[in-house]
Amino acid sequence: MARKMDEIIFYIEDDIESGYNARAINHSIFTQGDTIEDLKKNIKDALNCHFESGKIPHIIKLHFVHQEMLEMA
């Protein structure tokens, strides 16, 4: 019997044009959203499409990454 995963982690980045991109670590799941609330809804939808019913991880972690350029003169 296959063991159910307990958690999944999404790597969240600002989109170049607008909104946010979410990519699951160790799974082929990618989604986007214009707002954080849209992104959360789209992540749940993507999980429902990716996993069979009853096998979605109980813990969904969102790891937000903010990139900033530092100029050296």
pLDDT at 50 exceeding the cut of 50: yes
19 DSSP assignment: S
Q: Are 11 and 25 in contact (CB under 8 A)?
A: yes
The per-residue pLDDT for range 2-45, each reduced to its tens digit, is 445 689 999 999 998 999 999 999 999 999 999 999 999 999 99
